[in-house]
Amino acid sequence: MNYTYGYARVSTQSQELNRQLDILEKYNCNEILTEKISGTKSSRPELNKLKESVREGDTVIVESWSRLGRSTKDLIDLVDFFSSKNVKLISDKENFDTTTPQGRLMLTVFQAFAQFERDLIVERTKEGLKSARARGRVGGRPKVDQKKLDQALSLYDTKKYSLKDIKEMTGISSSTLYRYIDARRGNE
């Protein structure tokens, strides 16, 4: 059975959700998720819950795009996310529905902008690497001394030392140590 979700958000605790909730009620949502959190926050718990909950064929309804995305790029990423899961997306204020011809056209435009942004990032990265190489720098992570890494892993396995202690003894950072620990677990 397809499920209909509503999502409403205001930026501060003192603001009210009533206007958005009244609009979402018209759609007979099975569930309405609400948040009182700034749109500038990258982690919005109820939006994250919504993203984890939706399944193919579901519908997500918002009062307006400004309630869903915190920036144009964020909105495009979210529209792309829901589209990739075959979730219908409706914005009441903008009269946008991803299942209509106009909605599909706008979805295509959103996806084109998202691809354009990804292409620009790749291009800038390549240009940056080329520029760095021209100055004698090499990109990528620095090589890890295998002997020191083995020592750090052994110290970690004893469970007697903190990550700070291990770093001081071996020079291996906690992020590098965790990367190798995770890789080791993946091979088990």
Residue type at position 106: M
Element (H, E) at 4: strand 4-10
Sequence-ordered strand ranges (E) for 15-118: 31-36, 59-62, 88-91, 96-97
Q: What are phi and psi of 57, to 5 degrees?
A: 95, -10
Q: Decide: 83 and 106 in contact? Cβ < 8 Å.
A: no
- The Cα 174–Cα 157 span in angstroms is 14
Q: Is 83 a catalytic residue?
A: no
Q: Decide: 46 and 11 in contact? Cβ < 8 Å.
A: no
Query: Per the residue annotation, which of 11, 66, 83, 174 is the catalytic one?
Result: 11
Residues labelled as active-site residues? 11
